[in-house]
Amino acid sequence: DAGVIQSPRHEVTEMGQEVTLRCKPISGHNSLFWYRQTMMRGLELLIYFNNNVPIDDSGMPEDRFSAKMPNASFSTLKIQPSEPRDSAVYFCASSSQDHSNQPQHFGDGTRLSIL
């Protein structure tokens, strides 16, 4: 079974550039989560969607960050303009909310480096 698929796996770009991270959740899952992992703050939730609708975006650090989920099989996280402090590993996860207490399943992440 295909898991959560993220692309690209690595991204290196110069500050000021737009960065777009992509995620394909597990088929049939109706909740999607974006996390960021840094040395200082660990794994923190940025935003999550339920049935393609953003439910909680309180973790999005600032207006430079935006996320969309145009359909059940695709989501993007965009940073514009990017800054060096955005360098981190970004994970996407999905889960099924049709049943209670279902775990989230993670992709392998995008390692982002802003120079």
Partner 1 sequence: DQQVKQNSPSLSVQEGRISILNCDYTNSMFDYFLWYKKYPAEGPTFLISISSIKDKNEDGRFTVFLNKSAKHLSLHIVPSQPGDSAVYFCAASGTSGSRLTFGEGTQLTVNP
Name the H helices within 34-106.
Answer: none
**33: its two tokens:** 């989560």
In three-state secondary structure terms, 85 is: helix
| Nearest-approach distance from CB 4 to partner 1, in angstroms | 7
**Spatial distance between the Cα atoms of 70 and 67, rounded to a whole number of angstroms:** 10
Site for partner 1 in 4-33 (CB under 8 A): 4, 31, 33
Per CB under 8 A, 108 contacts partner 1:
yes
Are residues 26 and 105 in contact, defined by beta-carbon separation less than 8 angstroms? yes
Among 13, 20, 45, 64, binds partner 1 (CB under 8 A): 45
Binding positions for partner 1, rule: CB under 8 A: 4, 31, 33, 42-45, 48, 50, 56, 91, 93, 95, 97, 100-109
